[in-house]
């Protein structure tokens, strides 16, 4: 049952002012509006919980994470029901995302029972060293303190209340304050109920987790500027993320802002692959481009091809495959409106020609395809900006050298993809040093939608794909965002952290 309240340190806290959810279908519900006062209470509770929670053994934190997963699974039907209503996503997508969410929690529970993430290092004392003795030095990673997490609009489970940011921060030993996304407040509350139940069942301090719903811009600003918050995890728009990043940097004590802000995820179709498999690649691209109404940060929005008859075949096949996709419900009215603005911006670009035109209205999205020459694309930087939805732009270049120019001109990306056959290896070798500087993940002969949650994953990239190119928001390495190295010099064993043993 929904309460419509905030969860602050174990208490379901109301507010006289409420907002109504805007579901794609089904009933609307009222939720309390968050305020800076709610933020302050949650942050103070998180700070009070930090020394207690951080001192819990890794086994105790692992038990807690697994219990959260159990509690989410016990509420699976309820989550799917309200999640489909709020977002318009199909039940199968929500169920799959719920499985990914619980898998992430269990993955981190397993990960912290290992030792490598602690990065323990020891330089033993050399008392007889000349001209001066060397002290004993031990290094280990320690949790940084309370973490703020912003829920994402496009992943109501895997990147929201108990998503990857929350799971990795809790695994590291950091309490979490979540700013829930107003697109799916009911889904967020039910997941928060699961976390609250896990806190009570495992004896964790109440301030280990809080959820604040709704609120205007001042709530998000108050959260990132609160002096007790030591780092921020964010998945969302470039404009919103950059504004919060600037606030974090302007604090009297600047803190890291780990923002994942999206990208256009270009694909480069090399000549032999285009000639041999152009139609198959076009069909695969259509499936990836329109998956989930294109509402993925790894949506491959740009395909770069060398102009010619093979490019014509690719465009024709892509038009047929994309054109077979019907209207899909977008996550919010605002996202649908932004998609139409993005479509109009691309359509108005210099030299842009329509390949497939449809009609999108209200909260529905239909796919679009456009094409443009490489030279016109290079001269219009707006064409390299993300359109959040099922819109593809085919860039026709004159030759391999211009394809490399396209690659060099790119801003930071989450992904870049090469479609290549054996005969394309020389060109691929020329592109690789460029692309690996542009993206956190470089693919061969695949499509970037679908991000494996594993040890070797990188979901991040140079700005503006993310605000910290050395981090990832997916995979076990994401725990590093919430840790800092501490060296202990000549420290008695009794005073070392228990994880040193």
Please state, in angstroms and rounded to a whole number, the distance separating the CA atoms of residues 456 and 437.
18
Q: How many CA atoms lie within 13 A of 180 on its CB side?
A: 34
Residue 210's beta-bridge partner residues? Answer: 8, 177
| DSSP-H helix ranges across 5-90 | 36-54, 58-74, 76-87
The three-state secondary structure class of 274 is helix
Query: Who contacts 227 (Cβ-Cβ below 8 Å, separation ≥6)?
Result: 251, 252, 253
Q: Which two tokens stand for residue 379?
A: 């001269």
* 297 among known catalytic residues: yes
| DSSP-H helix ranges across 75-184 | 76-87, 91-111, 164-172
User: 158: which DSSP letter?
Assistant: T
* 260 among known catalytic residues: yes
| Catalytic residue (one of 43, 174, 297, 416) | 297
Count of CB atoms situated within 10 Å of the CB of 126: 12
Strands (E) in 351-460, as ranges, are 353-356, 364-365, 368-373, 391-397, 413-419, 439-444
| Catalytic residue (one of 47, 189, 260, 310) | 260
Query: Who contacts 193 (Cβ-Cβ below 8 Å, separation ≥6)?
Result: 7, 71, 75
User: 33: which DSSP letter?
Assistant: P
Query: Who contacts 368 (Cβ-Cβ below 8 Å, separation ≥6)?
Result: 343, 346, 354, 356, 357, 358, 390, 391, 392
The answer to whether 438 and 462 are in contact (CB under 8 A) is yes
The three-state secondary structure class of 176 is strand
Active site amino acids: 260, 297
């Amino acid at each position: 049952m929904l309460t419509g309240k905030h969860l602050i340190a174990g208490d379901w806290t109301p507010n006289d002012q409420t907002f109504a959810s805007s579901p794609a279908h089904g009933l609307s519900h009222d939720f309390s509006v968050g305020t800076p006062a709610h933020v302050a209470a949650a942050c103070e509770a998180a700070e009070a919980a930090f020394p207690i929670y951080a001192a819990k053994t890794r086994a105790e934190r692992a038990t807690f994470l697994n219990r959260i997963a159990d509690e989410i699974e016990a509420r699976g039907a309820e989550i799917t029901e309200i999640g489909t209503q709020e977002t318009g996503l199909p039940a199968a997508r929500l169920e799959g995302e719920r499985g990914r969410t619980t898998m992430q929690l269990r993955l981190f529970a397993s990960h912290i029972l290992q030792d490598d993430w602690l990065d323990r290092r020891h330089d033993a004392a050399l008392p007889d060293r000349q001209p001066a003795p060397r002290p004993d030095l031990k290094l280990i990673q320690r949790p940084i303190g309370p973490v703020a997490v912003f829920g994402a609009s496009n992943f109501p489970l895997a990147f929201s209340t108990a998503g990857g940011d929350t799971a990795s921060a809790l695994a590291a030993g950091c309490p979490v304050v979540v700013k829930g996304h107003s697109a799916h407040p009911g889904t967020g509350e039910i997941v928060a109920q699961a976390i609250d139940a896990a806190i009570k069942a495992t004896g964790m301090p109440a301030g280990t987790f809080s959820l604040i719903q709704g609120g205007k811009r001042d709530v998000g600003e108050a959260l990132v500027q609160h002096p007790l918050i030591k780092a921020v995890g964010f998945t969302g728009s470039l404009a919103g993320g950059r504004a919060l990043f600037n606030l974090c940097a302007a604090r009297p004590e600047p803190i890291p802002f780990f923002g994942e802000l999206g990208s256009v995820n270009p694909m480069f179709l090399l000549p032999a692959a285009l000639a041999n498999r152009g139609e198959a690649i076009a069909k695969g691209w259509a499936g990836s481009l329109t998956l989930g109404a294109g509402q993925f940060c790894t949506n491959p929005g740009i395909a770069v091809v060398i102009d010619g008859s093979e490019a014509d075949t690719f465009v024709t096949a892509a038009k047929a495959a994309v054109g077979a996709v019907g209207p899909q419900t977008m996550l919010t009215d605002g996202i649908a409106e932004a998609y139409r603005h993005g479509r109009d911006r691309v359509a108005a670009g210099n030299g842009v020609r329509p390949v497939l035109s449809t009609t999108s209205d209200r909260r529905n999205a239909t796919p679009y395809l456009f094409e443009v020459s490489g030279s016109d694309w290079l001269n219009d930087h707006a064409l390299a900006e993300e359109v959040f939805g099922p819109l593809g732009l085919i860039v026709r270049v004159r030759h391999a050298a211009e394809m490399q120019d396209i690659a060099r001109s790119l801003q930071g990306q989450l992904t870049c993809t090469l479609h290549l056959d054996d005969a394309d290896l020389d060109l691929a070798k020329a592109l690789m040093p460029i692309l690996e500087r542009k993206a956190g993940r470089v693919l061969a002969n695949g499509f970037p939608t679908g991000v494996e949650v594993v040890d070797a994953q990188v979901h991040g990239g140079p700005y503006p794909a993310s605000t910290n190119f050395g981090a990832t928001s997916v995979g076990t390495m994401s725990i590093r965002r919430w840790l800092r190295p501490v060296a202990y010099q000549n420290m008695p064993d009794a005073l070392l952290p228990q994880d040193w043993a």
